[in-house]
């Protein structure tokens, strides 16, 4: 019997990935997705397989406290974690507290984060978020999603990353471009709306796995299920994936 089939937790979670209602989409090879998987994808199969594939999965942004993770996550939009880590290695030496950012010269800050892209918008977001932290949260990063999304530049994705990475809190699933792509290919969602995708994943997954699953799905998207050249033969989920080429 495949791992996870028939477990009590899976019955409670409904055990199966939701069926897509959206037609005209393509599989990982650019062909219409018509394949019926040989194995039904359950919660346990998904998580156990991803853990075998990527036991080292983690947030790849370098940070040492909640403020650094918040700043790094804002900077990571439309950039790579590698480039952000290069920038923050020096940035985090210059700015230690929310007040440091709040008092920063915007033009100088733009130059310091220039290589992450969209530096003017990101400067407004980081410095604006820092000012709100100082004025409303005593300079500390809040620990609830309702408070975090009040900050400039912080929507649910960033808030979920910060809450999980800095505080170990499972408040949702961070849906970035990788999570969006692999959940569609795996048949975990029939939507391309990040808000709806998060809702689908939150219903499918046990709450205590939301944060960890985010890390695993991002690693799957970055290392195996890439946008242009997915490695379907090398993916251990290929028998349960409706978009697999093998």
Convert the pLDDT of each residue in 86-115 to its tens digit: 999 999 999 999 999 999 999 999 999 999
Cβ atoms 61, 84 nearer than 8 A:
yes
**14 or 176, which is more confident?**
176
> Bridge partners of 32?
26
**120 or 24, which is more confident?**
120
Question: Domain extents for the chain?
Answer: 8-57+172-240, 66-167
Per-residue pLDDT band at 33 (split at 50, 70, 90): low
186: tokens are 């795996």
| Average pLDDT over all residues of the chain | 90
Chain position carrying tokens 């890390």: 215
Sequence-ordered strand ranges (E) for 91-218: none
CA distance 113 to 109: 6
Enter the CATH code of domain 8-57+172-240.
1.10.1670.10
Convert the pLDDT of each residue in 161-185 to its tens digit: 999 999 999 999 999 999 999 999 9
Level-2 CATH architecture, domain 66-167: Orthogonal Bundle (1.10)
Per-residue pLDDT band at 27 (split at 50, 70, 90): low
CA distance 127 to 154: 12
pLDDT surpassing 70 at residue 30: no
């Amino acid at each position: 019997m495949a791992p996870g089939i028939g477990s009590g937790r899976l019955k409670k979670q409904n055990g199966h990935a939701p069926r897509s209602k959206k037609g005209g989409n393509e599989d990982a090879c650019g062909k219409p997705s018509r394949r019926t998987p040989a194995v039904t994808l359950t919660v346990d199969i998904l998580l156990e397989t991803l853990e075998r594939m990527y036991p080292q999965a983690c947030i790849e942004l370098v940070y040492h406290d909640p403020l650094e993770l918040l700043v790094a996550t804002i900077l990571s939009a439309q950039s790579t974690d590698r480039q952000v880590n290069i920038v923050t290695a020096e940035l985090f030496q210059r700015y230690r507290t929310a007040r440091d950012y709040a008092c920063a010269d915007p033009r100088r800050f733009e130059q310091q984060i220039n290589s992450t892209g969209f530096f003017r918008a990101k400067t407004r977001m980081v410095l604006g978020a820092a000012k709100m932290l100082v004025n409303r949260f005593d300079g500390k990063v809040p620990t609830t999603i309702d408070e975090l999304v009040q900050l400039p530049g912080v929507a649910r994705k960033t808030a979920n990353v910060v809450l999980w990475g800095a505080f170990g809190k499972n408040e949702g699933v961070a849906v970035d471009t990788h999570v969006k792509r692999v959940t569609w290919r795996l048949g975990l969602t029939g939507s391309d709306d990040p808000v709806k995708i998060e809702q689908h994943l939150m219903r499918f997954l046990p709450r205590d796995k939301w944060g960890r699953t985010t890390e695993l799905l991002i690693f799957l998207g970055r290392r195996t299920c890439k946008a242009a050249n997915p490695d379907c033969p090398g993916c251990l989920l290929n028998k349960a994936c409706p978009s697999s080429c093998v």
